[in-house]
Amino acid sequence: MMTVSALYDSLVKIVGKDFVSNRKEERYFYARDGGLMPPHEPDFVAMPNTAEEVQEIVKLANREKVPLVPKGSGLALTGLVIPQRGGIVLDMKRMDKIVEVNEKARYVVVEAGVTHGILKSYLQKHHPDLRHSLPDAPPVATVVANAVIHGQGRLSQQHGFNSDMVSGLEVVLPTGEVCRIGSCSVSPYWFSKGPPLPDLSGLFLGWFGTTGIITRLGLKLFPCKKMRDVMLFLTDKAELVPDIMLRLSHTEMVEDVVVSAQPLPLRFQGTFWLMAYITGDSDEELEFKRKMVWDALWEHFENRDVGYLSTSPDMKAPLMSMPSKDTCRFADVSKGGGFQYAGPITPIEKFPAFVRKLEEVAAKYNVFYASSTRLIGPGHCMMFSFSFSFNRANPDEMARAKKALDECSRFALEEGGVLWKADTYEQKLMMDRMDPNTLALMQKIKELLDPNGIMNPGNWEVK
Amino acid sequence: MQKYVSQIHRCFRCGYCKFPSDYSSFNCPSYRRFRFDSYSTGGRLWLIYAWLKGEIEWSEHLADVLYACTTCRNCSEQCPMKFAPDIVDWIVGARSDMVEKGRIPPRVARFFEAIYGYGNPFKQLRSDRAAWANGTRRYTRGDEYLLYVGCLGSYDENAQRMARDLVHILNASGVSFGILGEEEECCGNEVHMLGEAGLSQNLIEKNTQKFKELGVTKIITLCPHGYNTMKNMYPAAGGNFEVYHYTQIVNDLIKRSKTKPARTRAKVTYHDPCFLGRYNNIYDEPRHVLHSVAGIELVEMERNRKDAFCCGGGSGNFVNDLLAGSPDSPARIRAREAYETGADTLAVACPGCLTMLTDAVKAENLDDKLAVKDISQILKQALAG
């Protein structure tokens, strides 16, 4: 067993002394995220620059049985990159190369540290006809981490989870081998993460870094239309929202459908704001899509159940911005720098029940709430966020927010939802009710891939 | 209690502060240099909060993290929160607490000692403060402008040339002005940003008093740092002067045909100084001056205006240089960015940027391909025909 200083020296040898820290300040910062999970300090933070360096670190960690936690920007807010057992946090953001854009096969290959913001900007500049599914997370969220947590984005109504858009992986396995997944394992092209081969990407996506460290990722790109607009509809009837979402997706004209519910500002109170995003290459195309959307909801308009809200340019600008800065601003509603959300993935028919629960829980724990729901696939499911803001200088409010979140998570599970980017408490809730054979399979996979149990321990830990 | 203590927990560490408006790269100089999240604005604010709460102790590294911020204000420009305009003040507030406790990096301590002892951060003799001036006349009551050249303009070789070039332009245009010479004192901007509130207040009050006694009503500054402090901080000490950065004056002279640059030939890219751009919204005048010279082709770097990438010299780092020593040092990155435009000249409007970028161009072995010149130098050369 190496001493701490010998481990430090070994890491320095691999990545260079500028990119390893065991100083208190880095250990403090990398011990926590912006959410409510309790912190736990790593022993080291290291920033590799290549897959080879990651490989060396993994081999070292295996030899010494030291936990390894790969980290993007830590924006899941559910503590997924808090090193529960210490060890080494690998900040992957130095691996920041956009390796390849294949315009004809419409994919991009990025290193693990490439952020959504940088990819968006790069595509706009160099490949303006192409785009990727940008999440509403801040631009510093990494493409890889977002795929690993099955994030959603602006193209999820059309194409599913952002992880569904993955088109290949390069992974350093927990035992140190570098492994390619998908078409890139037999071909120079990164067009498919699985088919027609056995789809091994499922061994890594959704596992929160417990089965390997993704060092490169292929991502599908989609046509970027020249024009984009948002249509804003209002209703005060929660029970109509699933039907509205279905009607919108039925048109196959809508890029993205988002529903927001929040009590403040007062103009929001008691209403649900449905945003339908449309795109086109010409005014005619946009106008046609507007008409299709309008026709789809006509019956609701006639019944005066749904209204159309004409938006001023000032009002429209934040709705159109990608990513939306408004998402972060929720953290400062109570001038306190914190928010967290439980985001169950659930059938859309659950919308009314979830809204009722959100309001009930917010009142019960006296916390400020908001919700943003995104349709995933044309009606297959939605991500419903139970979001609560809190003041980081007020421990009592933080405790109430955490209780509110936990209650919402339990409720969502009881209602048939599945918890998204689940924290360790939520992971346990799900594993407790998971089909035992599924659970046993997960355990076998973990033991097979990570015999020493070094990868992000504490997560997906089957007891 | 300073305001920051009750506010600093409001940072959500969302990371917008790391970017320019289009998210094309990382635009926080210290984060770009060191890459640990602790060196980003969010990291810094969380560490300050931890220090205030007693969750971490003071350490030399904590002080380094705090002082690696160049106060370039990119974070304030990009932060989506309502408190965005206050972020730099919070950092300065925390530095003030460190100064009061005497727990600052040695280089910063030496900076203050030099100002205390010599009135400039270079430990140069006060009597040499006007050595650059070549007989430039002293300010006397009735002169329209006081030309305030600042510490860099007084002592740094490149910046001295910049000051002389400006004097040449002003004289050639018939501007009524004078300098303070040996009587000039540090403006206080860097001292303020480094958190020595008492000393900066003292400098501000002393300068204000002196300017008033001399009957000064209008000031031209060579340096955006001096411009910032005189424009925005002197009024609170009763110093209500009309303050201009020299590019504003020169631009006006050109508009009024008092200065007529001849044709030259250069492909120029312009680097916005933080204290001129983000702090004071002066983006157009320097560009107008460059545009006025026939034969100059002005090309923009990818990051420009409010998205300009800081040279790394702010907050006294043109002396302390806490971000030096790496190809990822901000000035070297900026030098490469300038070179990538295809320009043969990197124009600046700040003696701090001039120093930082001149050194960076050498470090990048670009000095035979990219000349770093202040706008006054470019204009003077054009005037000479």
B253-287 residue pLDDT tens = 999 988 788 888 899 999 999 999 999 999 999 99
Which chain A residue's Cα is nearest to B32? A94
**What is the distance between the alpha carbons of residues A254 and A288, in angstroms, rounded to a whole number?**
12
Return the amino acid letter for A101: V
Please judge whether B35 and A117 are an interchain contact, meaning their C-beta atoms are less than 8 angstroms apart: no
Is B142 found in the same domain as B25? no
Task: Answer whether A317 touches B (CB < 8 Å).
Answer: no
At residue B1 the predicted structure's pLDDT band, cuts being 50, 70 and 90, is very low
Task: Answer whether B125 touches A (CB < 8 Å).
Answer: no
Q: Is residue B120 part of a domain?
A: no
Task: Answer whether A72 touches B (CB < 8 Å).
Answer: no
pLDDT at A95 over 50: yes
Return the CATH number at B50: 1.10.1060
Q: Is residue B80 part of a domain?
A: yes
Please report how many Cα atoms fall inside a 13 Å half-sphere around the Cα of residue A235, on the Cβ side: 21
Return the CATH number at A121: 3.30.465.10
Is B134 found in the same domain as B99? no
Write the pLDDT tens digit of every residue in B92-129.
999 999 999 999 999 999 999 999 999 999 999 999 99
Task: Answer whether B270 touches A (CB < 8 Å).
Answer: no
Is A124 found in the same domain as A27? no
Helical H runs in chain B?
Answer: 3-7, 29-34, 41-53, 60-67, 74-78, 87-100, 106-118, 150-155, 157-172, 189-193, 197-214, 224-232, 246-255, 284-292, 317-320, 330-340, 351-363, 375-384
Write the pLDDT tens digit of every residue in A436-446.
999 999 999 99
Beta pairing partners, A60:
none
Position A267 scores a pLDDT of 75
**What is the distance between the alpha carbons of residues B57 and B54, in angstroms, rounded to a whole number?**
7
**What is the distance between the alpha carbons of residues A31 and B170, in angstroms, rounded to a whole number?**
57
**C-alpha distance from residue A286 to each of A1, A15, A34 (Å):** 65, 51, 39
Is B268 found in the same domain as B223? no
Is B377 found in the same domain as B274? yes
Q: Is residue A109 part of a domain?
A: yes
Which chain B residue's Cα is nearest to A126? B24
Q: Is residue B116 part of a domain?
A: no
**What is the distance between the alpha carbons of residues B137 and B181, in angstroms, rounded to a whole number?**
9
Please report how many Cα atoms fall inside a 13 Å half-sphere around the Cα of residue B108, on the Cβ side: 27
Helix (H, G, I), strand (E, B) or coil at A161: coil
> Nearest by CB to A26, which of B14, B19, B38?
B38
Is A178 found in the same domain as A120? yes
Q: Is residue B242 part of a domain?
A: yes
Distance of CA B50 to the CA centre of its chain: 30
Joined together, the tokens standing for residue B347 give 């124009």
Bridge-based pairing state of the strands A130-131 and A222-223: antiparallel
Least confident of A151-155, A328-332, A344-348, B144-148: A328-332
Query: B62 to chain A, minimum CA–CA distance in Å?
Result: 7
Query: For chain B, what is the domain count?
Result: 3
Is A238 found in the same domain as A216? no
Counting one residue from A and one from B, how many pairs have CB atoms under 8 Å apart? 109
pLDDT at A58 over 80: yes
> Nearest by CB to A338, which of B12, B36, B50?
B12
Is A110 found in the same domain as A30? no
Tokens 């699933």 correspond to what residue? A242
Q: What is the dihedral of CA A236, A238, A239, A244, to 10 degrees?
A: 80
> Nearest by CB to A139, which of B23, B38, B49?
B23
Is B310 found in the same domain as B237? no
> Nearest by CB to B23, which of A45, A120, A328?
A120
**What is the distance between the alpha carbons of residues B47 and B62, in angstroms, rounded to a whole number?**
8
Please judge whether A45 and B80 are an interchain contact, meaning their C-beta atoms are less than 8 angstroms apart: no
Please report how many Cα atoms fall inside a 13 Å half-sphere around the Cα of residue A146, on the Cβ side: 29
CB B116 within 8 A of CB B199: yes
Is A72 found in the same domain as A122? no
Is B282 found in the same domain as B225? no
Query: For chain A, what is the domain count?
Result: 3
**What is the distance between the alpha carbons of residues B37 and A101, in angstroms, rounded to a whole number?**
28
Is A113 found in the same domain as A65? no
Q: Is residue A441 part of a domain?
A: no
Q: Dump the DSSP string for B107-174.
A: HHHHHHHHHHHHSSTT---GGGTTTTSTTPPBP-TT-SEEEE-HHHHHH-HHHHHHHHHHHHHHHHTT
Position A48 scores a pLDDT of 98
> Nearest by CB to B15, which of A94, A140, A326?
A140
A124 to chain B: which residues are within 8 Å by CB?
Answer: 22
B65 to chain A: which residues are within 8 Å by CB?
Answer: 25
Q: Is residue A457 part of a domain?
A: no
**What is the distance between the alpha carbons of residues A371 and A262, in angstroms, rounded to a whole number?**
6
Q: Which residues contact B105 (CB under 8 A, 6 or more apart)?
A: B60, B63, B64, B67, B320, B322
- The domain boundary residue, chosen from B251, B281, B310: B251
Query: B357 to chain A, minimum CA–CA distance in Å?
Result: 23
Q: Give the residue from A140, A328, A398 with the most B CB atoms within 10 Å of its CB, the best one to mutate.
A: A140
Beta pairing partners, A340:
A388
B9 to chain A: which residues are within 8 Å by CB?
Answer: 336-337, 391-393
pLDDT at A264 over 80: no
What does the pLDDT average to over A350-374? 96
| Backbone phi and psi for residue A133, each to the nearest 5 degrees, phi listed first | -85, 100
Is B247 found in the same domain as B264? no
Q: Which residues contact A233 (CB under 8 A, 6 or more apart)?
A: A244, A273, A274, A275, A276, A297, A306, A307, A308, A309
Is A83 found in the same domain as A208? no
Task: Answer whether B24 touches A (CB < 8 Å).
Answer: yes
Buried b (16+ CB within 10 A) or exposed e, A79-105: bbbbbbebbbbbbbbbbbebeebbeee
- The domain boundary residue, chosen from A223, A238, A265: A223
End-to-end CA, chain B: 58
Question: Mean pLDDT of all residues in chain B?
Answer: 96
pLDDT at B18 over 70: yes
Is A281 found in the same domain as A173? no
Please report how many Cα atoms fall inside a 13 Å half-sphere around the Cα of residue A433, on the Cβ side: 13
| Helix or strand holding residue A356 (H, E) | helix A351-365
**What is the distance between the alpha carbons of residues A90 and A82, in angstroms, rounded to a whole number?**
11
Position B2 scores a pLDDT of 66
**What is the distance between the alpha carbons of residues B94 and B69, in angstroms, rounded to a whole number?**
12
If you ran DSSP here, which 8-state letter would residue B262 be given?
Answer: -
Query: Which chain A residues in 114-133 lie under 8 Å from chain B, judged by CB atoms?
Result: 115, 117-118, 120-122, 124-125
What does the pLDDT average to over B217-242? 97
Query: B232 to chain A, minimum CA–CA distance in Å?
Result: 28
Please judge whether B35 and A91 are an interchain contact, meaning their C-beta atoms are less than 8 angstroms apart: yes
Task: Answer whether A93 touches B (CB < 8 Å).
Answer: yes
**What is the distance between the alpha carbons of residues B13 and B10, in angstroms, rounded to a whole number?**
9
**What is the distance between the alpha carbons of residues A104 and A248, in angstroms, rounded to a whole number?**
30
Buried b (16+ CB within 10 A) or exposed e, B131-162: ebbeebeebeeebebbbbbbbbbbbbebbbbb
Write the pLDDT tens digit of every residue in A218-231.
999 999 999 999 99
- The domain boundary residue, chosen from A45, A71, A92: A92
**What is the distance between the alpha carbons of residues A73 and A113, in angstroms, rounded to a whole number?**
9
Return the CATH number at A389: 3.40.462.10
> Nearest by CB to A337, which of B10, B50, B65?
B10
Q: Dump the DSSP string for A382-448.
A: EEE-EEEEEETT-HHHHHHHHHHHHHHHHHHHHTT-B-TT--HHHHHHHHHHS-HHHHHHHHHHHHH
Which chain B residue's Cα is nearest to A114? B25
Is A289 found in the same domain as A240? yes
Query: A302 to chain B, minimum CA–CA distance in Å?
Result: 39
Is A150 found in the same domain as A81? no
Which chain A residue's Cα is nearest to B81? A329
Name the nearest CA neighbour of A457 among A432, A427, A430: A427
Q: Is residue B114 part of a domain?
A: no
Return the CATH number at A24: 3.30.43.10
**What is the distance between the alpha carbons of residues B113 and B132, in angstroms, rounded to a whole number?**
24
Beta pairing partners, A390:
A338
- The domain boundary residue, chosen from B229, B251, B273: B251
Q: Give the residue from A15, A18, A19, A25 with the most B CB atoms within 10 Å of its CB, the best one to mutate.
A: A25
> Nearest by CB to B59, which of A24, A125, A328?
A24
- The domain boundary residue, chosen from A414, A440, A458: A414
| Backbone phi and psi for residue A184, each to the nearest 5 degrees, phi listed first | -65, -10
Q: Is residue A382 part of a domain?
A: yes
Q: Is residue B113 part of a domain?
A: no
Is A103 found in the same domain as A87? no
Task: Answer whether B14 touches A (CB < 8 Å).
Answer: yes
Position B383 scores a pLDDT of 85
Q: Is residue A256 part of a domain?
A: yes
Query: A389 to chain B, minimum CA–CA distance in Å?
Result: 11
Beta pairing partners, A171:
A179, A214
**What is the distance between the alpha carbons of residues B313 and B333, in angstroms, rounded to a whole number?**
13
Position B385 scores a pLDDT of 62
Cis preceding linkage at A265, omega within 30: yes
Is B364 found in the same domain as B278? yes
**C-alpha distance from residue B221 to each of A86, B162, B168, B171 (Å):** 53, 12, 15, 15
Q: How many CB atoms lie within 10 A of CB B340?
A: 11
Task: Answer whether B34 touches A (CB < 8 Å).
Answer: yes
- The domain boundary residue, chosen from B225, B251, B277: B251
**What is the distance between the alpha carbons of residues B12 and B75, in angstroms, rounded to a whole number?**
13
pTM of the model as a whole? 0.96
Q: Which residues contact A247 (CB under 8 A, 6 or more apart)?
A: A296, A297
Please report how many Cα atoms fall inside a 13 Å half-sphere around the Cα of residue B28, on the Cβ side: 28
Return the CATH number at B135: 3.40.50
> Nearest by CB to A28, which of B11, B35, B47?
B47
A337 to chain B: which residues are within 8 Å by CB?
Answer: 9-12
A28 to chain B: which residues are within 8 Å by CB?
Answer: 38, 46-47, 50, 55-56
Q: Is residue A334 part of a domain?
A: yes
Is A286 found in the same domain as A241? yes
Return the amino acid letter for B352: G
**What is the distance between the alpha carbons of residues A348 and A383, in angstroms, rounded to a whole number?**
9
**What is the distance between the alpha carbons of residues A187 and A84, in angstroms, rounded to a whole number?**
38
Task: Answer whether A433 touches B (CB < 8 Å).
Answer: no
User: How high is the ipTM of this complex?
Assistant: 0.96
If you ran DSSP here, which 8-state letter would residue A142 be given?
Answer: B
Q: Is residue A419 part of a domain?
A: no
Task: Answer whether B3 touches A (CB < 8 Å).
Answer: no
Max CA pair span of chain A: 74
Question: Mean pLDDT of all residues in chain A?
Answer: 96
pLDDT at A59 over 80: yes
Query: B228 to chain A, minimum CA–CA distance in Å?
Result: 30
SS3 letters across A278-333: EEECCHHHHHHHHHHHHHHCHHHHHCCCEEEECCCHHHHHHHHCCCCCHHHHHHHC
Q: Give the residue from B6, B11, B13 with the most A CB atoms within 10 Å of its CB, the best one to mutate.
A: B13
Is B271 found in the same domain as B246? no
Q: Is residue A437 part of a domain?
A: no
> Nearest by CB to A28, which of B55, B82, B83?
B55
Which chain A residue's Cα is nearest to B63? A25
Domain range for A294 is 227-414
Please judge whether B35 and A93 are an interchain contact, meaning their C-beta atoms are less than 8 angstroms apart: yes
Domain range for B229 is 125-251
The CA-CA-CA angle for residues A171, A177, A182, to 5°, reads 40
Is B324 found in the same domain as B272? yes
Position B98 scores a pLDDT of 96
Q: Give the residue from B5, B6, B14 with the most A CB atoms within 10 Å of its CB, the best one to mutate.
A: B14
